[in-house]
Amino acid sequence: MRFEDYQISFEIKKNLAKLGFKKPTDIQFKSIPPILKGEDVLAIAQTGTGKTAAFAIPIIDLLHRGKNTARKDGIKCLVMVPTRELAQQIADVFQELSRHTRVKAFSVFGGVEQDAQIARLEDSIDVLIATPGRMFDLVSQGHIRLHRIEILVLDEADHMLDLGFIKDIVDIKKKLPSKHQTLFFSATINETIKKLAYSLVKNPIRIQISPKDPVSKNVNHSVAYIKMDDKRFFLERIATENPESKILVFVRTKVRAERVFKAMERVNIKSVTIHGDKEQQARFEVMRQFKSGEIKILIATDVSSRGIDIPNVEYVINYDLPDVAENYVHRVGRTGRGKEKGIAVSFCSDEEKEMLKEIEAFLGKEITVMNIDKEEYNTTLDFTEDTNNNWKALLKENEEFQKKKKKPNKKKK
């Protein structure tokens, strides 16, 4: 089936054709019809399979067809997401797909001044994409009114639960009209999110794509056993041998992100970092540089693993294994998106082997181990241009020092 065969507005079909969307992905094929019918939907699908368009297309069509020439007051659709970058990205998708329709979309998120967002909210917004913190602030201040909401979307809802927003989500549901449509979309699901989902929806249509393997078949993922202090050398080698490739590097903490950045800087490899300590405008600029290919290496904490659609990421490097097993799926899902192929490599130190077991238990299978013999391992350590951290240079310096210490001192006459 092709998009042109769907009973959706001509304007949306025109936008899809212009964007190069001809046939729906599996999640789009299974989600669009029930959403158009007004059903509640609980959808789980691998990252990179087109989940955003799966709910954006039918929502835009429903709102466009239901609009009168006289615009009614109030937001019709609320999309809640866990991160600022994802909010902006989803807003961009809505804006692209709603061109030439009567539907207007806008996003609000923290980290920036709220005055401009408040002014924009006065301009008859139909679809609001929001992070929970900023949205709850604006609701409490009276700038966001929820009395006309017809559709609620919780995207990456499991991550919002991880961030502690479950009570807020329940409270928001209480403020909505009793009759509204609820859509859950995520790459992973556990018992907690399943319990929440079924408590908030009415007889949902459950859609699950490739449930046995949450990692996309387009991603070749493997693990390499590397000592913690040697990881920077292996990252340097991958970056140097693939200078034209986009490489997304995941680390566990903000401090680690900056340390890896400094290590790459010492060997003249350009990279950028993104994490919670950066100002929002700086984060947007970093994403722009990486998406455009101006900078080829992005070092990120898990803030960037949820739903962010970065085109043409050839490599995902798990420099540190994630603390939460299911975050592995979200991380490696940044490559191999759509029909593209991708490579994901995890660096596992001795200290991280228990984490690796948890990840494999979550996946339900072992991750392929890269065989690195001793000679190849040492070759990688020799490969580095980091003269300040070159282990051989340090050993040589130490040997020379020890020789000098052993030389007998000449007695003064």
Q: Consecutive 10-residue runs of the chain (413 residues): their mean pLDDT?
A: 90 93 92 95 82 95 76 81 88 95 93 90 91 89 91 84 74 87 84 78 81 78 96 96 96 94 95 87 89 94 70 94 89 85 96 96 93 93 71 54 57 46
Cα torsion angle, 82, 88, 92, 98, sign: positive
Residue-level pLDDT at 163: 66
- For residue 72 the two structure tokens come to 């009614």
Written as six digits, the tokens of 243 are: 């200078």
Instruction: Supply 62's token pair.
Output: 């429903």
Can you tell me the distance from the alpha carbon of 240 to that of 151, in angstroms, rounded to the nearest whole number? 48
Q: Residue 77: which of 133, 142, 184, 153 has the closest Cα?
A: 153
Q: Are 275 and 254 in contact (CB under 8 A)?
A: yes
The reported pLDDT for the residue numbered 211 is 56
| Residues 248 and 298: beta-carbon distance below 8 Å | yes
pTM of the predicted protein model: 0.74
Q: Which of 395, 378, 399 is nearest to 227 (CA)?
A: 378
* Token pair for 30: 């299974």
Domains with residue ranges and CATH for the chain: 3-208 (3.40.50.300), 219-386 (3.40.50.300)
The rounded radius of gyration (Å) of the Cα atoms in the chain is 25
pLDDT one-digit tens code per residue, 97-124: 999 999 999 999 988 889 999 999 888 8
- Please answer whether residues 187 and 46 qualify as being in contact, where contact means their C-beta atoms are separated by less than 8 angstroms: yes
Structure tokens belonging to residue 251: 């680390």
Per-residue model confidence (pLDDT) at position 69: 42
Contact of 342 with 315, CB cutoff 8 Å:
yes
- For the chain, how many residues are written? 413
pLDDT at 226: 97
CA distance 411 to 271: 56
Answer whether 41's CB lies under 8 Å from 183's CB: yes
The DSSP output letter for 137 is H
Cα–Cα distances (Å) from 138 to 80, 112, 134, in that order, read 14, 13, 6
Q: If you ran DSSP here, which 8-state letter would residue 350 be given?
A: G
- Which of helix, strand or coil describes residue 4? helix
Percent of the chain exceeding pLDDT 90 equals 53
For residue 206, what is the enclosing H or E element? Answer: strand 205-208
Cα separation, 195 vs 193, in Å, equals 5
